[in-house]
Structure 1
């Protein structure tokens, strides 16, 4: 995928019955389905069943089995409740009649209320920073094969880390990371697609932050990594065409699991969403 329109086409599911949808897959360089894809498609599926004007304000999901890239994913949506202000939905994602993922989500209409937020951290501006694409063009042929394969994948998102680390230098890093991102191309702002796209992007970079403090001994070649659960809260609407900042920290890793949390800010400093994720970080023998 090289343009945001291709990601939108991936998120937009085929509706088979009232609450059953079918989705296709796109690889991002990993052997199984990218978790952000399943989350984004699940939000789209659930959003089709809620009253008009209600949009996802939070979700919590669990990854049960690795998704097979060669098999379609079927989403079964269940209505839990439609209240005066909120709706609750649950969705199961299946392949070959096995549940690979499930999610519960809350939907709310637009309301006014109290308003406060954390300030956006002070980081280098995206202008002048190198993107993943630019780094790949400069470093291809000099990187380990696994890293070069990851960076060579064409994506509909531009990522610009505020600090560039040497991927072959083995030293401990701080458990923090900040990445600017922007979609490639432009699209109309739509609350459903905006939330789906932000969810897709939120599964990039977050778990790797939990690997930073162990970067002197741990890397993708000797560590089994997989998302276990992922949650997200949406606070404010955004312009999906603008640059945004994903600020991530990892408070803990233990028991072969890593935990990370992050905030997504607009370029002007508005807090758009918060994310948490726990994932498997199992050293290989």
Structure 2
């Protein structure tokens, strides 16, 4: 397995999410390096957010709502058409449609707000072990590599630009049923610059990780289970406060319900100092054929 430096991994991720303007309010996102098969949903969400951010000045994204319509393919780049629906004194709204092979694969709406003070409260951060006391998800998987089927080995073991350290690791190939709750620390494996838009985009990218699997925990299955069909159906992210994606963030996820081939997942993301910086909700397809 080829090794690469953490800085190179993170630089490639930043470049992946750095959409390029090809016309007025039309942007293009490149393929991921070495990508095959289906595009990661968090990549499409993050690129769509970056496209929307390119059309807004003086306001920061505070929420986005996305629907996945078709799976994207790593065989071609993705185009993002932005509609400037509203520009007010405090808020602005953008609507983005992601296109590939002349078909829409995702719609996203995002709202932006000028910074202002206001009434404040938040739920407390869960009491979990510090990230320094935990092993990375990749380290756990490397320990289990001989039990991972060949077709899953490369995607499960490859080096990634974002490191996750789960509080309660699970076996992906033969998971045992457990409560639909999971906590993970995460951050990029190398420092980022100070562009707040890049940190928001990477947070959006990471928010689609370690979420859908939560609704499968009580059933003792994962996306590697034979006969399982899984996919994100929609994705909502609320950005409450500025956060650095290159510093440890705690992702606390739970699933209150599943049924009808779908699972509902919720997430809260905390900074190391206890600030609630983002909330997430997603419904996903968890169909067992």
Q: TM-score range by the shorter chain?
A: over 0.9
Per-residue deviation at 1:163? Answer: 0.6
Compared CA separation, residues 150 and 79, structure 1 to 2 (3 A) = same
Of the candidates 23, 26, 30, which is equivalent to residue 29 of structure 2? 23
Per-residue deviation at 1:241? Answer: 2.0
Corresponding residue for 1:221?
226
Compared CA separation, residues 132 and 183, structure 1 to 2 (3 A) = same
Q: In the alignment, is residue 180 of structure 1 matched against residue 185 of structure 2? A: yes
Compared CA separation, residues 30 and 253, structure 1 to 2 (3 A) = farther
Q: Distance in 1 between matches of 2:127 and 2:35?
A: 32
Of the candidates 261, 270, 277, which is equivalent to residue 272 of structure 1? 277
Corresponding residue for 1:93?
98
CA RMSD of aligned residues (A): 1.8
SS of alignment partner, residue 147 of structure 2: coil
Q: In the alignment, is residue 205 of structure 1 matched against residue 210 of structure 2? A: yes
C-alpha offsets along residues 125-154 of structure 1, whole Å, 9 cap, x if unaligned? 111211022223322223333553332222
> Does the 8 A contact of 1:29 with 1:150 survive in 2?
no
Corresponding residue for 2:260?
255
SS of alignment partner, residue 146 of structure 2: coil
Counterpart mapping for 1:231-246 below 5 A: 231-246=236-251
Q: In the alignment, is residue 129 of structure 1 matched against residue 122 of structure 2? A: no
Corresponding residue for 2:63?
58
Q: In the alignment, is residue 151 of structure 1 matched against residue 156 of structure 2? A: yes
Corresponding residue for 1:142?
147
Q: Distance in 2 between matches of 1:188 and 1:29?
A: 25
Compared CA separation, residues 199 and 161, structure 1 to 2 (3 A) = same
Of the candidates 24, 42, 45, which is equivalent to residue 39 of structure 1? 45
C-alpha offsets along residues 85-106 of structure 1, whole Å, 9 cap, x if unaligned? 0000000000121101010110
Per-residue deviation at 1:188? Answer: 1.7
Q: TM-score, normalised by structure 1?
A: 0.94
Q: In the alignment, is residue 48 of structure 1 matched against residue 54 of structure 2? A: yes
Q: Distance in 2 between matches of 1:54 and 1:167?
A: 41
C-alpha offsets along residues 179-227 of structure 1, whole Å, 9 cap, x if unaligned? 1101011112222111110010010110000000101698532210001
Q: Distance in 2 between matches of 1:170 and 1:255?
A: 22
SS of alignment partner, residue 180 of structure 1: strand
> Does the 8 A contact of 2:173 with 2:224 survive in 1?
no
> Does the 8 A contact of 1:13 with 1:21 survive in 2?
yes
> Does the 8 A contact of 2:82 with 2:95 survive in 1?
yes
Structure 2 unaligned blocks of 5 or more: none
SS of alignment partner, residue 250 of structure 2: strand
SS of alignment partner, residue 198 of structure 1: helix
SS of alignment partner, residue 163 of structure 1: coil
Q: Distance in 1 between matches of 2:194 and 2:213?
A: 30
Q: TM-score, normalised by structure 2?
A: 0.93
Per-residue deviation at 1:27? Answer: 6.6
Q: Distance in 1 between matches of 2:52 and 2:186?
A: 26
Q: Distance in 2 between matches of 1:195 and 1:274?
A: 13
Q: In the alignment, is residue 10 of structure 1 matched against residue 28 of structure 2? A: no
Compared CA separation, residues 170 and 206, structure 1 to 2 (3 A) = closer
SS of alignment partner, residue 117 of structure 1: coil
> Does the 8 A contact of 1:87 with 1:107 survive in 2?
yes
SS of alignment partner, residue 78 of structure 1: strand
Q: Count how many residue pairs are aligned between Structure 1 and Structure 2.
A: 283
